[in-house]
Amino acid sequence: MIMKYGQFSLFWKSIIINIIIILMKNFWALAIFSTLSSSIIGSIAQSAGTGCCTQFKICGQTFAYCATGCQIQCTSAGEPPQSSSEGDMNITTLISRNLFDQMLKHRNDDNCPGKGFYTYDSFIAAVKSFNDFASTGDINTRKREIAAFLAQTSHETTGGWISAPDGPYAWGYCYIQEQSETLAYCDESASKWPWAPGKKYFGRGPIQITYNFNYGLAGQAIGIDLLKNPDLVATDAIVSFKTALWFWMTPVSSNRSCHDVMTAANTADGMVAGYGGTTKIINGGTECGKGGAAAAQESRIGFYKRYCDLLKVGYGNNLEC
């Protein structure tokens, strides 16, 4: 049968209208389904209390679920939820970039010669070479060790004064090297570590490492010849932090390190655990046993207390040496 033009036009109009009606029904059904499914998945995820849900409405706790494309319960910066288990704690969990900046608040002040040198990333990179640092004991022990290390090194590099903005203990890490560069600090008896011609081994870096034998030992430990290039401690922030961490982790004549006295209990051979023990190792001959905390020791303790407060951990025992 051959349809006339009018009949033909009416026939196709009817077909087109029916198709539009079907599409509209499906569109609204799809929209309703999408809304309901999102609502249901959101409720399930929220009732579970954990988990990130992807754009495909699949939920889980690993990075694959929480990365770009996450729609529900997404953690910040697309990172997966971190475990609260003490065994999983690493240095960046214990001290964040923001907390590091709070602790060393004025290190980048215009009046500090070390402005821009001591960075959080350099600190973290250096710590990775010393696996036992801030990873021994429970979470409070680990936090106290971080506070102790940064406090002792802040005292050595401080640019603060009594009436300084935010107090004298907010000015750690202001200096990179000893203000007087006249002394060479060369010990001729340390023949194993002969000094290089024209080089001086005055205090540099967070712990203000001095003398040719200390530069030699530190360099040997971190794999760099610091006898020939001691200036690296003042020009490479990672190397600088590594020398301080080397000193912190390495036992001295008492066969105890700063790390040991911050992470162990008192011992039968007379080692006193606690922050005061680290002062004894660093500068005990000058500051300890003076019938009360000397001015330098008070400064060390002041930094330590401030940092413990920021880390939300108790001070522990034996603050004085």
- Which residues are known to be catalytic? 156
The Cα diameter of the chain in Å comes to 120
126 close to 153: Cβ distance less than 8 angstroms: no
CA–CA dist 147, 262 (Å, integer)? 10
CA–CA dist 235, 181 (Å, integer)? 15
Closest CA to 197 of 212, 213, 178, 179: 212
Q: What are phi and psi of 72, to 5 degrees?
A: -130, 135
Q: 50: phi > 0 → left, psi -120 to 50 → alpha, else beta; which?
A: beta
User: Residue 27: in which H helix or E strand, if any?
Assistant: helix 5-48
